[in-house]
Chains A and B, each alone.
Chain A
């Protein structure tokens, strides 16, 4: 079962990248058209918007009393507004948010596609370590997707380097100098140390990916009685999973949680993990269904699709469980230093914040509960698209409130960034899929997997 990326798909991916790059470029130009000289004028033109916002805020202030004034001060970069003796004027504050937007849009999309590849890598390692009998026919699809781990991870790190304090306020020395809370965390939140950590994470993940792919291909060519490459893969997968669960957790503190350096949550690493895991599994299902529709995966039957859809269903519920646990504990105790995180999201991001719960929980719950529906490809594709959009919104909700505050919109910079990284992802993944046969025939479980029937 040989596969080569078709010209149409390659051209499509390149067009997506070009369109995306134009959108990203436009986002940067557009945001820099507002600067110190014309910000006052810009805000005056927006008068009606501010007016509406003020009444709305006033209306709810009666109900929520003191919390709201705190929230108002904590829009966007909480750190900035609260800094003692370093108060920003309203204009400066808004200007920062406008300038942050294209960086944040790029970062959200880059992280989203990177996390899909990383989630697939974790799923792949679990299948090896558990010696799963159903999934070896899907290993080459997974290996293709994980080809994006290394470039994707490096791109995320590069964006962090370039965007600097546009995304991570603790990278701004002026802010840190006036902020006792960040100073206390500066032994961890230090730019050099942050980058070293990032390189260790990406290095470790892509090293595992490199060797597991190498052993998997070598096993195909090895003698029938020689299972040494499979055993090697089993061992490194088990070791990788230990490394992964630590580094994934630390990565989520670094790359996501530290955009709000005043806030912390203990189950955040798991929460990010659930998000990447379910997106990864969804993409495995989508690409499998795509390749099968081309007649390239004749050994994949609808029981395999059924199993993937069950994982999509189950992990969606797991994600919701973690989302709700984090939200409900903080909502219930209502401790001011924690609860601002959710207040900014509920006040300014009401629709994306609760909309993603509907997309990530209600849709998969109701659509994939029926056993028969999990075997219908177009049904799985439809649910998969909803899940992926929901998890993009999830990352959007994590990053945007800290960088652009209430000045968010899913417009040209955001859509451009998604198109760009979608094109890059498709290009890298499908090129990698074409490099080796689509059936890992050397795997000792592959016969069982081909006859898998549920």
Chain B
């Protein structure tokens, strides 16, 4: 990659950070990433990030769960061995459906919830024993960090970021393999 150098601008206040993000975006610089200790409301919009599609996956997973429950109960209770259990009508799925609804509901929720969480882990690349990607440990406590790629415009970027209220500006050689 050409951008082997990045600039790290560090802020101590989320309102200042938001204003800085807007300024940098207005100057048409590409923000690589922003590290914050807590969710900053509206940051994704200010950075122009695309909305998440996680909810859509959850809906589809829920449909899978409902199908699994329906097919399973239909096969076991109606097709494979339709016993008379306490007089319940196991002649067809519909006739005995109220008894299956609790299971259908729970499996829908189970699939939607768990598969969505696993999707989230995979898309955000989080797993046990993963090396932390944090560029500065203070960003997990009380500092905010904006990372911008440098394209032979160090001075211009530095002065721009100084103007946005950054308390610290570091130019870092980025090791691509760290990710």
Contacts and interface: CB of A to CB of B under 8 A. Distances in A.
Interface stretch (A89-97, A188-196, A324-332): A324-332
Nearest to B99: A332
A369 B59 CA distance: 9
Contacts of A369: 59
B39 interface: no
B55, B87, B98, B99 — which one has the most chain A CB atoms within 10 A of its CB? B98
A328 B98 contact: yes
* Band of interface residues on A: under 10
A6 interface: no
Contacts of B59: 369
A390 B87 CA distance: 33
Contacts of A332: 98-99
Nearest to A329: B98
A334 interface: yes
B46 interface: no
Contacts of B99: 328, 332
Q: Give the dominant DSSP class at B's interface.
A: helix
B87 A327 contact: no
B19 interface: no
A331 B98 CA distance: 8
Interface string A323-343: 010011001101000000000
B44 to A, nearest CB: 15
Interface string B101-113: 1000000000000
Interface in A405-452: none
Nearest to A330: B98
Contact of B87 (A324, A328, A334, A371): A334
Interface in A48-80: none
A334 B95 CA distance: 14
Given A332-B99, A334-B87, A371-B55, 9 more contacts: A324-B98, A324-B101, A327-B98, A328-B98, A328-B99, A328-B101, A331-B98, A332-B98, A369-B59
12 contacts: A324-B98, A324-B101, A327-B98, A328-B98, A328-B99, A328-B101, A331-B98, A332-B98, A332-B99, A334-B87, A369-B59, A371-B55
State the 6 A-B residue pairs at the shortest beta-carbon distance, nearest first.
A328-B98, A331-B98, A332-B99, A324-B101, A328-B101, A332-B98
